[in-house]
Structure 1
Amino acid sequence: MANISASQVNELRQKTGVGMMDCKKALVACDGDMEGAIEHLRKTGMAKAEKKAGRSATQGIFVSLVKGNVGTIIELLCETDFVAKTDAFKAFGAGVAEKVINEFADNGDISEKLATTMQNELKELIAKIGENMHLRRAVRWVSNGKIGSYLHTGVAYGVMVDVEGECDDELLSSICMHVTAFSPRYIVPADVPADIVAKEREIAAAQLAGKPANMIENIVNGKINKWYSEVCLTKQPWINDQKTSLEKVAPKLTVKRMVRWQVGEEI
């Protein structure tokens, strides 16, 4: 086996844009031959994939899968809406979701782990389709109750919720729709960080300058309760009846966690 130097690895990296470890493996496989290593990387699709890695990928899809009390939602990005709609892109996403449900054991954020696990398969897809792609976000939840998800087309939103208590499938579906439509920042008031509540109280009090001190506290409390009805899932006007709320519709239900993502947001 040829003795591969660091300078050879760096040279191959500069010529192909491929990571150091893959460059070294290619040189070892080709007994140190630089041109052979370049051809090797091209044949495996790595060089082509790495060259595309700097291109902006803000389009894409969400894939979600729920089996029993285990659920996952994954954001898969590409460069164009055209590719996002192709069968090959969707099939890859579906396969990733199956792998997450069946082979992972995590209960939480798996974004980094999934990207690392699937990097070779993703490079093959990049080489086949010809666009930069990446697995941006993913969670895998194991619920003590039930998991529901909703994928919105048009403007692509992905929602998943984890609930415990009394909740049939129809209510679970409505909660997912509500989260999509009303974009709650928190589930219940207790979830709101204390510093954010303090800032809201400060703002509310400043608007009451000149009023008697004994009135200000009650008015501020009223304003904070009104604000909770805007930002907290359980207190927002309910999607199926604006005159009520989820906490009133389902008092024996607890929403444990939720995600609401939009494809490519904040990129």
Structure 2
Amino acid sequence: MTDDAPELRASDADRERVAEVLRDALAEGRLDMAEFQERLDTTYSARTYGELAPITQDLPVGGAAVAPRVSMTKEPEGSADWAGRITGGEGSSSWAVAVMSGFQRKGRWTVPRRFNSVAFWGGGDIDLREANFADREVVINCVAIMGGMNVIVPPGVEVIVRGVGVMGGFDHREEGVPGDPGGPRVIVTGFALWGGVGVERKLTRAERQRQKEERRQEKLERRAARKGLHSSFREEVEGAHDRMLEEHRDMLREHRDERRDQRELRREERDRRRRGED
């Protein structure tokens, strides 16, 4: 944890690093369940580095009594190409526990080859839409006892569900959807007793916004095309109307000329008759 700027806002990844230390401390017996839950709630409600720092100051990290490091700079958005998101190495978080509470894994985190999660009278969200993957095939193991979990995957990810439900169930709706070439495969397994594990496919907020902008642009282009078509049609109608008026004027002129010619003929005829009488 940095002490240079405690007033700076912490990210989701910063809170996850602190939460991981707390889980390790619970597994090692350094914290009892009540204190673990209290500190975990404080972690997820923390907004700044200064609020995160005291939570683990009395706990060792990786064998040394130092607080987990948080990043002062936010990672840039990863490439949409799957090759850039299958990073290898270890995951940034390997397990999650919710006992009469909840947990979340979302944002820019690295999914390990196997991620274990437990929800007892609680629930959890495992969001992979912006995540990187330690391997092309990862296993999300979910144990839901009188609770529920939801696994969210982005388009292009192949999903295989192998969980077992007893008076509960696993969602199989996303199975059978082919993944992108080179995309990761997510295997959802585990056990549900009086609980359930859902799997759904969603776009990221940025992708939804991009598609919304594309639809708006297409709408503007269609409107402009309709406006151009309407303008062209109006010009054609106005041109046809102008031509019709011009033809009508020509007919009137011809009619006037014809009547004038007839009057002149009658006048000449009268003049000839008068000269004959004379």
Q: TM-score, normalised by structure 2?
A: 0.25
Bigger helix fraction: 1
Is the radius of gyration larger for structure 1 or structure 2? 2
Compare relative contact order (CA 8 Å, sep 6+) and give the higher one, 1 or 2: 1
